[in-house]
């Protein structure tokens, strides 16, 4: 919450500074030669393009439109000023154009980046022509300053764009790895049921040879095991999308293994307790149990990484209305004793979300009321 409010304060300060700079432009222009309406149009157009809230932008207001239209209007204003010597510039217009240059480099499609960025950068470099059309040295000095500002803006925006790309790739790779892990679990799920089918089939054949009257329950068990195997395969095989033969398979955990996780996690300074509802069955599908195990495992790992000051960690398992609810909560305030290199890349929850949603469930992770963190997963039983 603090980070959100701080971000809002920074945004508000930036908006206020941009509006104040634009007002300075208008006052300076009007004091010298009266209001130049083309310059007013540039400031309004550019200010709207920069400040229009993202969630309220119409579909046609793409990054290309936002960055090109004000730049073209500014270049037209500069050309008109050279012909009629009727306009100057202040801090507002260059600030708006530099903001739009940032938007162009970071958000425009790859094919349009060069055109949009060139127009915005060119509009910034052309501004000194308005004020110093006959003072070459002064004009070149202002252009040099503008070139430095343009270069810094382009470099910063390009760096952030590369970071955005790297994060997108990392998230995609994490999801793909998690799908591969789920697909690898298919062997364990189906092998478990098929082995049961094989054993019961052998027993059925022996009973058939002895003309036993107890053959019917064995055949019912075979039918049940086959049905469970098909259900496991149907729920899991959907994750086999465009993947090669998977790499190493992970060991599959279950609900019983969660108690072992908690015992291994607890320490003298951190207590961990498990609250398992009496209605939680032991006969849940193996893939659901494995996913619940992974949720608890990842949540406990994150407590170690990001909430080393937590003193109480609570794991809950509840089964209501045919759904399994898994919750892991802590009372930490975000303190950690681990070095920064051990904090991980922050994609564990991405993989968990992929695994949970692949089974038709939902995952939520966020702060608790007051302080602490909670991870909650709901699985169809």
Smallest Cα–Cα separation from 92: which of 32, 148, 42? 42
Note the pLDDT of residue 237: 58
Residue 198 has pLDDT above 50, yes or no: yes
Q: Which two tokens stand for residue 96?
A: 């708006």
For the segment 139-165, the average pLDDT, to the nearest whole number, is 91
Tokens representing 19? 């509006």
- Which range has the worst mean pLDDT, 67-71, 190-194, 203-207, 265-269? 190-194
Of 356, 239, 348, nearest to 303 by C-alpha is 348
DSSP category for residue 232: H
Do residues 25 and 91 lie in contact, with contact meaning Cβ atoms separated by under 8 Å? yes
pLDDT interval class at 305 (50, 70, 90): confident
Distance in angstroms between the alpha carbons of the first and the last residue of the chain: 35
Q: Which residue has the higher pLDDT, 179 or 260?
A: 260
> For 182, how many CA atoms within 13 A lie in the half-sphere containing its CB?
32
Q: Are 27 and 52 in contact (CB under 8 A)?
A: no
At residue 272, the 3 state secondary structure works out as strand
Q: Does 369 have pLDDT greater than 90?
A: no
State the average pLDDT over residues 92-102.
89
Q: Which tokens hold the place of 341?
A: 């290199």
Provide the 10 A C-beta neighbour count for residue 197: 17
215-257 pLDDT tens trace: 666 666 666 666 666 666 665 555 554 444 444 444 457 888 8
Q: Give the Å distances, CA to CA, from 56 to 53, 60, 70, 101, 294.
A: 5, 12, 19, 21, 39
| pLDDT above 70: percentage of residues in the chain | 67
CB atoms within 10 A of CB 166: 10
Residue scoring higher pLDDT (231 or 18): 18
Q: Which tokens is 179 given?
A: 């799908």
Inform me whether the pLDDT recorded for 348 exceeds 50: yes
> 361 or 132, which is more confident?
361
Grouping H, G, I as helix, E, B as strand and the rest as coil, residue 85 is coil
């Amino acid at each position: 919450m603090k980070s959100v409010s701080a971000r809002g304060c920074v945004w508000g300060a930036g908006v206020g500074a941009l509006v104040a700079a634009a007002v300075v432009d208008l006052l300076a222009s009007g004091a010298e030669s009266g209001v130049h309406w083309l310059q007013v149009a540039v400031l309004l157009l550019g200010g709207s393009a920069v400040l229009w809230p993202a969630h309220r932008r119409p579909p046609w207001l793409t990054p290309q439109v936002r960055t090109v239209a004000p730049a073209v209007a500014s270049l037209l204003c500069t050309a008109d000023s050279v012909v009629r010597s009727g306009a100057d510039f202040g801090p507002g217009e260059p600030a708006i154009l530099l903001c739009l240059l940032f938007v162009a480099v970071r958000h425009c499609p790859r094919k349009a980046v060069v055109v949009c960025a060139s127009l915005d950068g060119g509009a910034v470099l052309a501004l000194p022509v308005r004020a110093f059309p006959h003072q070459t040295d002064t004009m070149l000095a202002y252009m040099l300053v503008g070139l430095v500002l343009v270069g810094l803006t382009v470099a910063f925006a390009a760096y952030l764009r590369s970071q955005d790309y790297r994060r997108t790739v990392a998230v995609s790779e994490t999801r793909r790895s998690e799908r591969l892990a789920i697909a690898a679990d298919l062997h364990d799920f189906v092998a478990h049921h098929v082995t049961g089918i094989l054993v019961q089939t052998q027993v059925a054949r022996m009973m058939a040879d002895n003309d036993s009257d107890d053959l019917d329950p064995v055949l019912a068990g075979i039918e049940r095991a086959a049905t469970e195997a098909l259900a496991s395969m149907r729920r899991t095989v959907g994750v086999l999308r465009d993947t090669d033969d998977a790499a190493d398979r992970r060991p599959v955990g279950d609900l019983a293994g969660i108690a072992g996780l908690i015992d291994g996690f607890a320490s003298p300074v951190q207590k961990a307790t498990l609250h398992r509802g009496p209605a939680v069955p032991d006969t849940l599908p193996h893939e659901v149990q494995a996913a619940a195990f992974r949720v608890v495992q990842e949540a406990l790992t994150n407590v170690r990484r990001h909430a080393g000051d937590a003193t109480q960690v609570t794991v809950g398992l509840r089964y209501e209305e045919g759904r399994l609810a898994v919750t892991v909560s802590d009372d930490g305030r975000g303190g950690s004793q681990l070095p920064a290199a051990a904090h991980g890349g922050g994609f564990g929850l991405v993989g968990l979300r992929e695994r949970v949603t692949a089974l038709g469930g939902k995952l939520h992770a966020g702060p608790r009321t007051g302080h602490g963190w909670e991870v909650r997963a709901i699985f169809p039983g």
